């Protein structure tokens, strides 16, 4: 799955290249409020321009649910991309995506020129991976490049369906980087390999826990999900977030760790408060207690100081670290200490450090540790499925080397 043809392995001179990007950027009043995803897409686009390709970009934006929604038009993206690239990105404004404008624009293209198609989710077939729309997209090009990792766990027309009708299908630099880091970390890690999981619920990460337990040397659990594990150990967890239907599962995982000889680290102390903060960033009184001394009327909202040190210590001896999910209610500064401590331990190590998207990526960036990490995944859902050991349809669909 991981040895895919990349933009460095193909010849695009004079060819029409359809590139699936992730231009799903936040918009406010028609203005892009965070252009990270556009900037991240530039290396692949520039490479294809430099190689003399005729670059046809496509992406989804938001959830128009198969209907043209003017507020989800990609027009602002074309305008901003033109500025970032320093050359015109012509916008093909067809509500049917592959319409008269797109076809005419593609027909008139010269080598090194760039156009952008309308939001692929204007078409209802897109998320159903329908054949007709896949063929329409394929009819525009001779080569297909997928650089949208964020949607790689979904089989849609613009990342999977289209590949059945195009001879050459490669991945872009962004996809390649995700495959290299996440794939290598999980399947071929430099050891010791420490995986850190947090976030709200055990149920959201059942397969991630199980798969990482098999692959890593040490699995660290924090965040809301830790309390179901503590309860499974027979401890009182007060009013902490607990999923009673997953107690047996947690027991199974603890047994599995033991059988495999893996370390499974759980909080030894925890930061508690009488209730969940409301609003979430409200100033609250907290205290830290041992994990086996949580009062019945208190709620665990972050790992404790001793746990933070224990986790940091485990990170110190690692050569590969993968982290997904915050250690506590990090949206509240008083309850962000555990998450900050873990982020800092990752920032301080020479190990390969990989952040698996979503909240942990946001937390690391917010705390200013972004540039200290080896890799921050651009896809929350996609990176989780990677960590579950699943084949991602968008990756599988690209040609092998």
Site residues, ligand ATP (CB under 6 A): 199-200, 204, 223-224, 241, 300-301, 324-326, 328-329, 331, 357-360, 380, 384
Q: Are strands 114-117 and 375-376 parallel, antiparallel or unpaired?
A: unpaired
- With respect to ligand ATP, which residue has the nearer C-beta, 6 or 360? 360
**Residue 349 beta carbon to ligand ATP: minimum distance, rounded to whole angstroms:** 20
Q: 10 Å Cβ neighbour count for 109?
A: 17
Q: What residues act catalytically? A: 37, 201, 358, 381
What's the CA gap between 266 and 250, in Å, rounded?
11
What's the CA gap between 278 and 284, in Å, rounded?
9
Chain-centroid distance of CA 132 in Å reads 29
Which residue from 138, 135, 102 is spatially nearest to 117, judged by alpha carbons?
102
Ranked by CB distance to ligand ATP, the top (closest) residue is 358
**Residue 366 beta carbon to ligand ATP: minimum distance, rounded to whole angstroms:** 12
- With respect to ligand ATP, which residue has the nearer C-beta, 150 or 326? 326
- With respect to ligand ATP, which residue has the nearer C-beta, 61 or 226? 226
**Residue 187 beta carbon to ligand ATP: minimum distance, rounded to whole angstroms:** 20
Exposure string over 116-128, b if 16+ CB within 10 A, otherwise e = bbbbbbbbebbbe
Q: 10 Å Cβ neighbour count for 331?
A: 17
**Residue 364 beta carbon to ligand ATP: minimum distance, rounded to whole angstroms:** 10
- With respect to ligand ATP, which residue has the nearer C-beta, 283 or 350? 283
Encoded tokens for 240: 């902490």
Q: Are strands 375-376 and 269-273 parallel, antiparallel or unpaired?
A: unpaired
- With respect to ligand ATP, which residue has the nearer C-beta, 133 or 311? 311
Q: Are the C-beta atoms of residues 401 and 168 closer than 8 Å to each other?
A: no
What's the CA gap between 222 and 101, in Å, rounded?
52
**Residue 373 beta carbon to ligand ATP: minimum distance, rounded to whole angstroms:** 14
Let me know if 376 is exposed, middle or buried by CB neighbors in 10 A (0-12, 13-18, 19+).
Answer: buried
């Amino acid at each position: 799955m991981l040895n895919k043809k990349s933009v460095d392995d193909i010849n695009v001179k004079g060819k029409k290249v359809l590139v699936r990007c992730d231009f799903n950027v936040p918009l406010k009043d028609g203005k892009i409020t965070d252009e990270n995803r556009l900037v991240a897409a530039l290396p692949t686009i520039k490479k294809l321009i430099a190689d003399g390709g005729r670059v046809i970009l496509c992406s989804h934006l938001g959830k128009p649910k198969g209907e043209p929604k003017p507020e989800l038009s990609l027009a602002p993206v074309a305008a901003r991309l033109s500025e970032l690239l320093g050359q015109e990105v012509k916008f093909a404004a067809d509500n049917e995506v592959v319409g008269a404008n797109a076809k005419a624009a593609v027909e008139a293209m010269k080598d090194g020129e760039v156009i952008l198609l309308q939001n692929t989710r204007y078409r209802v077939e897109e998320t159903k991976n329908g054949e007709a729309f896949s063929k329409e997209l394929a009819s525009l090009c001779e080569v297909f490049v997928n650089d949208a990792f964020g949607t790689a766990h979904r089989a849609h027309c613009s990342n999977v369906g289209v590949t059945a009708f195009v001879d050459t299908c490669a991945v872009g630099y962004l996809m390649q980087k995700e495959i290299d880091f996440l794939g290598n970390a999980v399947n071929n890690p430099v050891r010791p390999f420490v995986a850190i999981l947090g976030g709200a619920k055990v149920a959201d990460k059942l397969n991630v826990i199980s798969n990482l337990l098999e692959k890593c040397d040490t699995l660290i659990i924090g965040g809301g999900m830790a309390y179901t594990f503590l309860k499974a150990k027979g401890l009182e967890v007060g009013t902490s977030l607990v999923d009673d239907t997953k107690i047996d599962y947690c027991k199974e995982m603890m047994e599995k760790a033991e059988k495999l000889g893996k370390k499974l680290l759980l909080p030894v102390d925890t930061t508690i408060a009488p209730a969940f903060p409301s609003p979430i960033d409200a100033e609250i009184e907290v205290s830290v207690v041992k994990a086996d001394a949580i009062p019945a009327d208190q709620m665990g909202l972050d790992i404790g100081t001793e746990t933070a040190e224990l986790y940091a210590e485990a990170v110190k001896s690692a050569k590969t670290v993968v982290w997904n999910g915050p250690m506590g209610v990090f949206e509240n500064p008083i309850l962000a200490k555990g998450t900050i401590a873990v982020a800092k331990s990752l920032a301080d190590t020479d190990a390969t450090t990989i952040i698996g998207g979503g909240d942990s990526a946001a937390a690391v960036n917010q705390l200013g540790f972004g540039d200290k990490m080896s890799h921050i995944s651009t896809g929350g859902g996609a990176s989780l499925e990677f960590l579950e050991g699943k084949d991602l349809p968008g990756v599988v669909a690209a040609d092998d080397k």
